[in-house]
Amino acid sequence: MLRIHSGLYKGRKLKTPSLDVVRPTTGKLKLSFFDILRDRIKEAVFFDGFAGTGNVGIEALSRGAAYVVFNDHLPICIKLLKQNLEKIGIPRDYYRIIRGDYNRTVISLSQRDLSFDIIFLDPPYQLLEYADPLKVVYKRGILKPEGIVVLERPTRISFQTRFFQCYRSRVLGNKVLDFFRH
C-alpha cells in the first residue's frame, strides 16, 4: 500500500487497484522527485497528467502545492482517486479531477487559460514508443515560462523531445525521471 511521505497528510495510506494496467510511482522514485523539487512545490500549480490513484498529486498537496489537476482515463483510477482524496480529507477547492484522454484534457486546460508550474507525467510506457506527450504541452502552452515537466519512464525506453530541454535525469533502479524546461 502506498502512503504520503511528508507534509500535512504525512503517513496517510492510499488505496491502489489490483490491476496490472495501473503502475503507481514507487515510494523511492516519489521521494527522489520531491527531494529534487523541494523548493518548487510550495504554492505550485501542479498537473498530474496520468494520475492513476493520485499518489504523486496528493503528495504535492501534502507538501504545500496550491492546486492540483488530476487526469486519468480509467474509471477505476478515478474512483480510487476520489476515495483517496475524501479519505484524507483534502478540501475540494485544492484540486480538480478530470476523467479523460490526456491530449484532450491538455487542449481543454489550455482553452481555459490554465498553466502549470509543475507537470508530472507517468504515461503508459508503450505510449513513449510512438508518441511525445510533451508535444501537446508545448503546442498548447500550459507550462508556465519558469515551469518544469517531469517524465517518468523505464530505463529500457529512451526518450527525446524537440519541444523542451532535458536538463536533468535521475536513474533509480530500472526507472528514470527526466526533468524538462523551456
Residue among 89, 80, 35 nearest 61 (CA): 89
CATH number, domain 2-181: 3.40.50.150
Report the predicted TM-score, pTM, of the whole model to 2 decimal places: 0.95
Query: pLDDT tens, 29-49?
Result: 999 999 999 999 999 999 999
Instruction: Determine the average pLDDT of the residues in 54-65.
Output: 97
Query: pLDDT tens, 69-124?
Result: 999 999 999 999 999 999 999 999 999 999 999 999 999 999 999 999 999 999 99
What angle, rounded to 10 degrees, do the helices at 133-140 and 102-111 form?
10
Domain borders along the chain are 2-181
